[in-house]
Amino acid sequence: MDQHRKRPDLGMVKALAQRTLRAIVGPTASGKTALAVAVCEALGQGQPPISGEVVSLDSMLVYRGLNIGTAKPSLDERKGVPHHLIDVADPTERYDVSQYSVDAQRAEEEILSRGGMPIFTGGTSFYLKALLSGLFNGPDVDPKLRASLEARYDVEGAEALHKALRAVDPALAERVHANDKKRVVRGLEVFEQTGTALGELQKQWASDPRPSRLVGLEVDIVGLDERILARTKEMFRMGWPEEAEAIRKGTGFGKTSIQALGYRDVLRFVDGELTRDEAIAEIALRTRQFSRRQRTWLRGFQEIRWFAAPKTNEDLVALAPEVLDWIQG
């Protein structure tokens, strides 16, 4: 198992839960990543200087190769300020909120251990909720029950136990391979102990969220729609169709990565099912709809302080110190 895949120790998790979570969020194309970088740069120029580091809060930036279509910050854009949780999974991997929570906790711990300040940024509300309130991972291990289930797995076989899991927790069985003995056994164990599927338990949140300083970028809808269309056209010009086809012919897409906004439509263009203009129009429409849903989801976080999204570089430069003052509290 890779180092970044290991579960953080409980002591570290409890310590982080008491620390203030700082994040810049907003709908797609609102300029949140550029603002996060500007805030980190301002931190480095303060007295005393603090190393600000960006931690992605985006469910699709984790995938290697999905660059153009996800508007992933380029390597050049990441040179001045360290970025985390970008390119940590192959397109075929399932990467969910549980894995993100583990990786985000580790990244946060490492940044804090260096005396730095983690600035989370992105638009995946579900991930933000997990950072604020945590995920419930089920009851403590029952050693006797665990041993019994592991013995059944060894005797009856992986497929038999996976079928048993599918009967009580179909959502978990869908994303866990039969050969993943640990997770199959854990799913059955939790159901035996609680009578409830682990997937359902993981939807429960802590009632006392961690302290936070959250910044939201408010966008002008008309202006955003124009920016989305222009950005979609630019993505095609940069080679989005070629990128999507290269992934399909290479590693291939997994069930999660193919859900990245626009990739299915880009592949339809590659396959001749849509013209270039039709694909751009369809993706721009889907992106506008997604952006509206993002704004609705983010409005559910009462902790967020909203700022007008910067439209120009001058706006960005002027906004960064104000956001920094708020984030530092």
237 CB-contact burial (10 Å; exposed 0-12 / middle 13-18 / buried 19+): exposed
Q: What is the mean pLDDT of the chain?
A: 89
pLDDT in tens, 25-75: 999 989 999 999 999 999 999 889 999 999 999 999 999 999 999 999 988
Task: Say yes or no: 108 and 53 in one domain.
Answer: yes
Confidence of residue 10 (pLDDT cuts 50, 70, 90): very low
Asked if pLDDT for residue 209 goes beyond 90, the answer is no
pLDDT in tens, 215-257: 999 988 877 888 899 999 999 999 999 999 999 999 999 989 9
Pairing of strands 304-308, 117-122: unpaired
Task: Say yes or no: 166 and 57 in one domain.
Answer: no
Task: Say yes or no: 117 and 156 in one domain.
Answer: no
150 CB-contact burial (10 Å; exposed 0-12 / middle 13-18 / buried 19+): middle
pLDDT in tens, 123-172: 999 899 989 988 766 677 788 999 999 999 999 999 999 999 999 999 88
pLDDT of residue 202: 62
Cα–Cα dist 215/252, whole Å? 36
54 CB-contact burial (10 Å; exposed 0-12 / middle 13-18 / buried 19+): buried
Asked if pLDDT for residue 178 goes beyond 80, the answer is yes
CATH number at residue 61: 3.40.50.300
Q: Which of 225, 226, 249, 237 is nearest to 279 (CA)?
A: 237
Q: Which residues of 191-218 are buried (b: 16+ CB within 10 A; e: fewer)?
A: beeeeebbbebbeeeeeebeebbbbbbe
> Residue 260: inside a domain, yes or no?
no
CATH number at residue 151: 1.10.20.140
Task: Say yes or no: 100 and 188 in one domain.
Answer: no
Pairing of strands 83-84, 52-56: parallel
Asked if pLDDT for residue 200 goes beyond 80, the answer is no
Cα–Cα dist 235/71, whole Å? 8
pLDDT > 70 in the chain, percent: 91
> Residue 232: inside a domain, yes or no?
no
pLDDT of residue 205: 55
Cα–Cα dist 226/254, whole Å? 31
Task: Say yes or no: 170 and 123 in one domain.
Answer: no
Cα–Cα dist 295/39, whole Å? 22
Q: For residue 85, what are the domain limits?
A: 3-135+209-224+292-328
